[in-house]
């Protein structure tokens, strides 16, 4: 009986906190206990367990009188296809998660947020900068996130110590120096000790994201909505050369090749000292090798330049088909409020998307790195992330294998990406599926 009373008190407190949070951050939700009508919302998610969503759904239900049916889609690999098929057959959910890049060519499937739920000013005040650039189109807000992931540096502490490297590199110049100190190559050219899983595409997890990050850090202005991408010029060539040099036997930074194990496995097995990846792979690495002595650090930057990190995340959106779009958006606003978002992120060990939650995590030994990096996170408008990943992968490995020069590979990739952007958006298909992750929509 005591436990039941405490549970009811906790739910009541959560309801009050959520309403206060919403009222204080620029939206005008209905008053607590003011029903939105006889409404049932169907919500599809990918990463949030029902155990984490359940208390929040109950609190929202008690506050607004709206019934919510939550479904976590277990088959991540074909999520996009299943979602698009459900929407095409008029049986889709009211609320669903999207990859943030989907706003670019799938917004016809979404209902933007009413201005009395959240407007652009409130969005920019509450969420980090990358959110507005990703989810706002023509002054309308198409999605809201609870968390944002960024690429960070994973490093093997034992290998660093054995090589006399006292701390992880903070700039790319330092990164190159560390690679040269750690890497061991036999007189036959075989890599005996790899310093970093970097340089190729086929066996490097999220190689495409790392490449795009290097373009952004090099000052390349990638395409804005409605414009072509330009990969011509020194910045693009410098970035691609920098990346592929790690797989070039003639370079001092040679440390990786296509004969190495897949980067996640190589790092987990202690065969390479550094991996660049997202926070959601922390449990992946620990599951593969619980005894691995590793830590996290900030993603390297170009010395004396503005910090730029690379964002990837899955915000919530409302279906254009929803019969209750206002209630659906109130639910998203509720989930992304400070208290609810904090609870979801704590349960998933996910970095925040809200500005007001960064300081509280700054000293966290793992999530703190990712939380701080979201302030300088960037992205760019992509029409079909799966197809673009394939183009960038081919571009990288064509240089590594000698099939094309850096300039030739860039020109081919530029033409293919711009052709993709010029094609009419096909809302009925997903453009092919690969395995998905919380921080990406690409190959694991």
Supply φ then ψ for residue 56, to 5 degrees: -70, -40
Strands 149-150 and 309-312: antiparallel
Residue 33 has pLDDT above 60, yes or no: no
Whether 435 shows a pLDDT value over 80: the answer reads no
Does pLDDT of 34 surpass 90? no
Neighbours of 221 (CB within 10 A): 12
Q: Whose structure tokens read 């607590």?
A: 32
What is the structure's pLDDT at 11? 40
pLDDT by residue (tens digit) across 398-432? Answer: 999 999 999 999 999 999 999 987 776 544 333 33
What distance in Å separates the CA atoms of residue 406 and residue 398, rounded to the nearest whole number?
A: 9
Radius of gyration of the chain (CA): 23
* Residue 97 near residue 306, CB atoms below 8 Å: no
Closest alpha carbon to 311 in 374, 232, 229, 395: 374
C-alpha to C-alpha distance for 255 and 245, rounded to whole angstroms: 9
Residue-range domains of the chain with CATH:
2-148+313-378 (3.40.190.10), 150-311+384-422 (3.40.190.10)
Residue-wise pLDDT for 248-295, tens only, equals 999 999 999 999 999 999 999 999 999 999 999 999 999 999 999 999
Q: What is the pLDDT of residue 430?
A: 38
pLDDT tens per residue, range 366-383: 899 999 999 999 998 888
Q: List, in order, residues 6 or more apart from 415 with CB less than 8 Å away.
A: none
DSSP single-letter state for residue 323: S
- pLDDT over 50 (residue 21): no
Structure tokens at 402: 């000698």
Q: How many C-beta atoms lie closer than 10 Å to residue 292's C-beta? A: 16
Lowest mean pLDDT among 24-28, 92-96, 124-128, 387-391: 24-28
Question: Tens digits of per-residue pLDDT, 339-363?
Answer: 999 999 999 999 999 999 999 998 8
| Residue/partner pairs of 302-309 with CB below 8 Å, 24 or more apart | 302/171, 302/172, 302/217, 302/218, 303/171, 303/172, 303/173, 305/217, 306/376, 307/376, 308/213, 308/216, 308/217, 308/376, 308/378, 309/150, 309/151, 309/213, 309/373, 309/374, 309/376, 309/377, 309/378
More confident residue, 111 or 433: 111
pLDDT in tens, 54-63: 999 999 999 9
Q: What is the pLDDT of residues 146-167, one digit of tens each?
A: 999 999 999 999 999 999 999 9
112-135 mean pLDDT: 97
Comparing 316 with 30, the larger pLDDT belongs to: 316
Q: What is the pLDDT of residues 209-218, one digit of tens each?
A: 999 999 999 9
Cα-based angle 146, 371, 43 (whole degrees, multiple of 5): 15
Report whether pLDDT(110) > 90. yes
């Amino acid at each position: 009986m005591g436990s039941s009373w405490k549970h009811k008190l906790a739910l009541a407190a959560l309801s009050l906190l959520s309403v206060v949070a919403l009222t204080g951050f620029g939206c005008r939700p209905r008053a607590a206990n003011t029903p939105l009508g006889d409404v049932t919302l169907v919500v599809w998610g990918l990463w949030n367990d029902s155990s984490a969503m359940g208390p929040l759904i109950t609190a929202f239900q008690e506050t607004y009188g709206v019934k919510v049916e939550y479904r976590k889609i277990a088959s991540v690999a074909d999520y996009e296809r299943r979602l698009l098929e459900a929407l095409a057959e008029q049986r889709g959910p009211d609320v669903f998660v999207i990859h943030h890049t989907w706003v670019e060519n799938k917004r016809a499937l979404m209902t933007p947020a009413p201005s009395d739920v959240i407007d652009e000013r409130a969005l920019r005040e509450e969420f980090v900068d990358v959110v507005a650039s990703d989810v706002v189109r023509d002054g309308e807000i198409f999605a809201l996130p609870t968390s944002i992931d960024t690429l960070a540096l994973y490093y093997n502490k034992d290998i660093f110590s054995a090589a006399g490297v006292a701390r992880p590199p903070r700039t790319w110049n330092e990164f190159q120096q560390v690679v040269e100190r750690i890497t061991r190559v036999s007189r036959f050219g075989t890599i005996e000790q790899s310093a970093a899983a970097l340089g190729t595409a086929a066996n490097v997890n999220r190689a495409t994201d790392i490449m795009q990050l290097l373009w952004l850090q090099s000052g390349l202005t990638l395409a804005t909505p409605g414009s072509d991408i330009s990969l011509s010029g020194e910045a693009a060539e410098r970035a691609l050369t920098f990346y592929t040099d790690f797989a070039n036997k003639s370079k001092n930074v040679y440390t990786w090749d296509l004969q190495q194990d897949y980067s996640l496995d190589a790092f987990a097995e202690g065969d390479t000292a550094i991996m660049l990846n997202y926070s959601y792979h922390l449990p992946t690495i620990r599951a593969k090798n619980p005894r691995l002595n590793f830590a996290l650090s900030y993603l390297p930057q170009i010395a004396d330049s503005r910090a730029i990190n690379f964002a990837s995340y899955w915000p919530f959106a409302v279906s254009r088909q929803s019969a209750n779009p206002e209630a659906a958006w109130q639910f998203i606003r509720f989930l992304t409020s400070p208290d609810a978002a904090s609870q979801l992120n704590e349960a998933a060990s996910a970095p925040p998307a809200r500005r007001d939650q960064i300081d509280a995590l700054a000293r966290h030994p793992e999530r703190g790195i990712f939380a701080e990096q979201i302030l300088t996170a960037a992205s760019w408008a992509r029409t079909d992330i799966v197809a673009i990943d394939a183009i960038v992968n081919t571009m990288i490995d064509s240089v590594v294998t000698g099939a094309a020069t850096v300039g030739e590979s860039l020109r081919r990739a530029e033409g293919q990406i711009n052709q993709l952007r010029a094609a009419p958006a096909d809302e009925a298909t997903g453009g092919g599926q690969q395995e998905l992750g919380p921080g990406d929509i690409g190959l694991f």
